[in-house]
Structures are given as structure tokens and as C-alpha cells.
Structure 1
């Protein structure tokens, strides 16, 4: 009877660890970049190269501006100056 319990316990432990490993790996595939604070000063629209929105899984909705020098800044998409830069970039793309 004792010999039967050891394999059952071993199989149970392996299944439990496998389940935990799968659950842990699912949580690692979140968004690559999220913004937790926004730049306070206005950026020069002439220096902005590109922009993108953060993933919907991020806690804060944000716009990430990439500057011509390669630096990136997080901005609040509700700010008017952010909207102006985005609309200017969209206008250039559609022209």
C-alpha cells in the first residue's frame, strides 16, 4: 500500500507544478511598454519623428512620441498639444 502512494504523490506534484508553470508563463506576455507618468512640458512638433499608442492592457492610456534624436516620451492623449501633434502627423501622412 505504501508503494502505491509514492507514485501517486509524485504524479500529483508534477501535475501541480506543470499547471503553475503554465499559469505563470501566461502572465509574462503582457504589453512590452506602458507609461506610468507623462511628460509635463510640451514637445516641439518639429522634433517628433513618430508616435504610437500604448497597448490597451496598460493601466494608463498614453501616446509615446519618438523624437528625431531617438528619445521617447510618454504623453497624455487628452492634452490638446498632444492631439495637435498627432493631427499634424496624420495630415502629413495623408498629403
Structure 2
């Protein structure tokens, strides 16, 4: 009877390990966030804290705007108002970098 328990325990452990490996691999290979619908009306630039592009593995290209309220909103990166917000945020970021570099050199 003792011989039967060892293979059963071994098979049970192997099944448990393989199911955990499958669950872990699903999170590793997929994108964090994707956009499936876009906001149509322009967002106020002052309320947008930051932006990031969605992963290339997503079915649609998108931009995730993080608002002051910490809410994330999807927008179409080809729309003019979206491009303007991105340019404005890039300019602000460049100014911050330039001012910190000039402070370090003084």
C-alpha cells in the first residue's frame, strides 16, 4: 500500500506545479493594459498628468492618459487633440529635465 501513495503524490504535485506555471505565464506574456474604445471629446490639458502608449501586442494603438484623479482614459493617438496634449506634456517634461540639468552644472 505504501508504494501506491508515492506515485499519486508525485502526480498530484506535478499537476499542481504545471497549473501554477500556466497561470504565471499568462501574466508575463500579455500586455498590461489595452484600449478597446476611445474617448471622443477632447480632454483638458491641465487635468492630464501623464500619458503612455499601449503595448504593441494590443489589438489597437492607443494612448492612456492619466488624469489628476488617477483615472486612466484611452484616446486615439492619430487624433489632433491627442497629439497636442502629448506635445504639451513632452514640452513640460523637457523643461523639467533642462532645469534640473542646469541646476546640477551650477
TM-score bracket for the superposition, by shorter chain length: 0.7 to 0.9
* TM-score normalised over the length of structure 2: 0.66
Matches within 5 A, 1:58-77: 58-77=58-77
Tell me the residue number matched to 1:44: 44
Inter-partner Cα distance in structure 1 for 2:69 and 2:20: 41
Which has the larger helix fraction? Answer: 2
* Large movers: runs of 4+ above 3 Å: 18-28
Matches within 5 A, 1:1-95: 25-29=24-28, 30-95=30-95
Gaps of at least 5 residues in structure 1 are 1-14
Is the alpha carbon distance of 1:49 and 1:26 closer, same or farther for their aligned partners in structure 2, counting shifts above 3 Å?
same
Inter-partner Cα distance in structure 2 for 1:20 and 1:69: 38
Return 73-82 or 21-30, whichever deviates more.
Answer: 21-30
| RMSD of Structure 2 on Structure 1 (CA) | 2.5
Deviation at residue 49 of structure 1 after TM alignment: 0.5
Inter-partner Cα distance in structure 2 for 1:24 and 1:67: 32
Inter-partner Cα distance in structure 2 for 1:69 and 1:19: 41
